[in-house]
Structure 1
Amino acid sequence: MSHQRKPRRKAVMAVGGVAALGAAALVLPHASASQDATGDGRAPRTTGTGTGTARTLRASDAPDLDARLRRLLGDAFAGSYYDSGRQRLVVNVAGGDGDVIGRAKKSGAVVRRVANSAAELGAATRTLKAEAAVPGTSWAVDPRTGKVLVTADSTVTGARWDRIRSAVRGLGPGTATLKRSPGTFRTLASGGDAVFSQTRGGSVRCSLGFNVTAADGGPAFLTAGHCGVAAEKWSDTETGGPTATVDRATFPGEGDFSLVTYDDPGTRAPSEVDTGDGRTVPIGRAAEATVGQAVFRMGSTTGLHDGRVTGLDATVNFPSETDPGGVDTVTGLIRTDVCAEPGDSGGPLFTRDGGALGLTSGGSGDCAGGGETFFQPVTTALRATGATLGGGAGGGEGGQTGADDQSGAGAGAGAGVGVGVGSGSADETGPGAGAHRPGAADDGTPAPTGTR
């Protein structure tokens, strides 16, 4: 239990309390049918797989090994992913001399030779941005296949479909796969526990992701960028006065994140995720995501859900909310197979052991039939805003964890304790009410702490 003073207002905005924003939120339909633009539907040809001295490792250790291999392999590095079944990191290699390959195997990874280099795949995504950035499309490098995975929703028809199909085929055989989805883009509306803002268009709602300390030492929190673009002042009740102010917002463009500072500098904002029923997961560090990694997402609409990272540095194109017929593009997102529904926008993506990974940006499908959700990487948001992970104004004891220090487990864990969201709306419920409790995956379910 916390011995710290509670904020001088009705209630703390619960960490992980997620709700809707009736504004420009990303939603990309789940791809349920596919068409391989190369015509063969197969993964790129490999020239052999060597296990060398491959060792088992935890998903949380995979990013460190990935970073070492990037430096070791240089231009030969062509992506990596975490094989959760075998608990190994698989690294793709395109070219490279035998000595370098040997050292890569000795590092502990499974080495797989592939046809497409990282430079070639990067060039492919830049070509897509120039030639195929139409509303209803998304793409990201898929290290499992060694290709760029491109998705087009049901609104991409006629000339637009011809345009993106031509762009994919123009990349050359074995470079990209084009998937067709029956769904459409839609904004994330409705929800549950929320932070609120009043605009000329009415009341908007969004969610709090992770509490942080701003560069000036004051208490703040991170949330989705489209929240900060939609409104400047935020409250923990629908009819209450503002309690937090947007300091910086990025959306669209290179990310979807906002830094929002608490107006009361004495606010004690704990570094934890509220998973419902009075249970919390302490957040101790910001971490990089790895393809194949098991992750958890908290949302007050659908509760706690789990899944895996399926892609990094994803680009999403969707219809502009301000320019009819235009397109807004967001880059640098984490792609996952975690489900989400309207109202889950802005919530935290995290690991069982308290690693903060991302902020919910948008998704497709639902939690009955499954879906696909994109997240803003927390590390990018911290670097851009100068914030450090953890509660401000004494919100945590011990060192804070920032974007430049991501390794210390528990370094920024706040000693505070979460309390419920304000009761300004009749439909507000606890952020974990009815939460799905995922079954134990490779690395189990989150380990909550105590009651509040």
Structure 2
Amino acid sequence: MRRTLRARRTALTALTAAGALCLGAAPAGAGTAGEDAAAGPATYALNSALSQRLGDDTAGSYIDRRTGELTVTVTSDRAAEQVRAAGATPQRVTRSAAQLGEAMASLEAGAKITGTSWGIDPRTNQVAVQADQSLSARELARLKRVANAQGGAVRVERVPGTFKREVAGGDAIYGGGYRCSAAFNVSKGTTRYFVTAGHCTNSATNWSATSGGPVIGVREGTSFPTNDYGIVRYTNGSAPGGNVNLYNGSYQDISSAANAVVGQAIKKSGSTTKVTSGTVTAVNVTVNYGDGPVYGMVRTTACSAGGDSGGAHFAGSVALGIHSGSSGCTGTNGSAIHQPVKEALSAYGVNVY
């Protein structure tokens, strides 16, 4: 299911496994300042309601890391009044959602270069473009030429490494000679599944919890590129819990799913880097891979590495995304991309539990 100008995923990460999958990751090191900007169920609900109510009168929303409050960009006084009445903070901006969409369309048409990604950063009311180290001088000049023609609506930054799907060999879920990670256990009635990255499920029908081990699940759906999600049905008779493995002897219960909000704190759980922390920096992200683009993705600063593909992005008990890929990690600052999990749940008619 293709969605124009809605960024999708960037790399294959990790299918977490342990017989009966208990998905998740363990905190790796100190948290970031973004952990002060936590989002609870009320924030997700308010963000969704205002987004639908305001329509074209908003160009996105974010959580203010200083106050922890939901800030909603608006382009009219009427919209600002609606935001205040709902209990959020309005921020008047000059560029509408339509104008940012036009800028993204120009990038899609004139600068669709492997090794680039772009998405909306409502904090600056811009389209934030990242260009990895694979771009040649000529390609970078072309990208900047298209960006500069957008009247300040687009900013470009270079990032270390190269955007890639993060599949690798090692522990976790195995299929087709690859290792990935599982994101979340889900259900439809009494049938249990797990969701993971589509670039992982593209590679194999049968999946095991150990390399060369018995099959625990069979692929029932896959979508990559354009999207990056897949679903595997448990066939070994197990009824795994609806939680995420924190790799420290404990688990995080998952009770709901939501779309991530720029500025909020997030954790990523994968079979290679375990649990890492970060902050959401852009939504509606497009990532241009060598084997095709993905749309409607979310960019965060969490660290990740090969084998994390398919892992869980979450905040407390809320499922947010399925790890797709990144351009690597410098210190504690990564560029992890995730597929919004709500889209995958809707596509397959399943729920977290």
TM-score (norm 1): 0.68
Among 303, 309, 315, the residue aligned to 1:345: 309
- Equivalent residues in 2 for 1:107-126, closer than 5 Å: 107-126=86-105
Among 41, 47, 65, the residue aligned to 2:46: 65
Among 237, 240, 243, the residue aligned to 1:272: 243
Answer whether contact 1:17 1:274 (CA < 8 A) is retained.
yes
> Taking structure 1 as reference, are residues 174 and 60 closer, same or farther at Cα in structure 2, changes over 3 Å only?
farther
Give unmatched runs, 5+ long, in structure 1: 1-9, 19-55, 321-327, 390-411, 413-452
Is residue 244 of structure 1 aligned with residue 217 of structure 2?
yes
Residue by residue over 1:376-429, the C-alpha shift from the partner in whole angstroms, topping out at 9 and shown as x without a partner, is 11100001111121xxxxxxxxxxxxxxxxxxxxxx3xxxxxxxxxxxxxxxxx
- Equivalent residues in 2 for 1:241-320, closer than 5 Å: 241-253=214-226, 255-264=227-236, 266-320=237-291
Aligned-residue offset at 1:369: 4.5
Distance 1:57 1:233 in 2: 37
- Equivalent residues in 2 for 1:37-436, closer than 5 Å: 58-94=39-75, 96=76, 98-171=77-150, 173-190=151-168, 192-198=170-176, 203-214=177-188, 217-253=190-226, 255-264=227-236, 266-320=237-291, 328-352=292-316, 354-366=317-329, 368-389=331-352, 412=353
Aligned-residue offset at 1:71: 3.7
Aligned-residue offset at 1:359: 1.0
Aligned-residue offset at 1:375: 0.6
Alignment root-mean-square deviation, CA: 2.2
Give unmatched runs, 5+ long, in structure 2: 1-17, 27-36
Aligned-residue offset at 1:228: 0.7
Answer whether contact 1:341 1:364 (CA < 8 A) is retained.
no
Distance 1:341 1:311 in 2: 20
Distance 2:115 2:342 in 1: 27
Distance 1:210 1:344 in 2: 13
TM-score (norm 2): 0.86
Residue by residue over 1:76-130, the C-alpha shift from the partner in whole angstroms, topping out at 9 and shown as x without a partner, is 2111101132021111112x2x344323222222211111001111121122112
> Taking structure 1 as reference, are residues 230 and 163 closer, same or farther at Cα in structure 2, changes over 3 Å only?
same
Answer whether contact 1:312 1:332 (CA < 8 A) is retained.
yes
Give the aligned partner of residue 25 of structure 1: none
Answer whether contact 1:59 1:293 (CA < 8 A) is retained.
no
Instruction: Please state whether the residue corresponding to 1:308 is helix, strand or coil.
Output: strand
- Sequence identity (%): 37
Q: State the structure with more CA Rg.
A: 1
Residue by residue over 1:241-273, the C-alpha shift from the partner in whole angstroms, topping out at 9 and shown as x without a partner, is 3221111101101x2110111123x32121000
Amino acid at match of 2:333: G
Instruction: Please state whether the residue corresponding to 1:243 is helix, strand or coil.
Output: strand
Distance 1:240 1:367 in 2: 35
> Taking structure 1 as reference, are residues 187 and 377 closer, same or farther at Cα in structure 2, changes over 3 Å only?
closer
Distance 2:164 2:258 in 1: 30
User: Larger helix proportion, structure 1 or 2?
Assistant: 2
> Taking structure 1 as reference, are residues 261 and 119 closer, same or farther at Cα in structure 2, changes over 3 Å only?
same
> Taking structure 1 as reference, are residues 78 and 195 closer, same or farther at Cα in structure 2, changes over 3 Å only?
same
Distance 2:260 2:332 in 1: 25
Amino acid at match of 2:67: R
Amino acid at match of 1:205: R
Aligned-residue offset at 1:291: 0.8
Answer whether contact 2:217 2:233 (CA < 8 A) is retained.
yes
- Which has the higher relative contact order, 1 or 2, with Cα contacts under 8 A spaced 6 or more apart? 2
Is residue 13 of structure 1 aligned with residue 13 of structure 2?
no
> Taking structure 1 as reference, are residues 168 and 301 closer, same or farther at Cα in structure 2, changes over 3 Å only?
same
Answer whether contact 2:165 2:324 (CA < 8 A) is retained.
no
Answer whether contact 1:62 1:290 (CA < 8 A) is retained.
no
How many residue pairs get aligned? The number is: 326
> Taking structure 1 as reference, are residues 131 and 238 closer, same or farther at Cα in structure 2, changes over 3 Å only?
same
Answer whether contact 1:224 1:361 (CA < 8 A) is retained.
yes
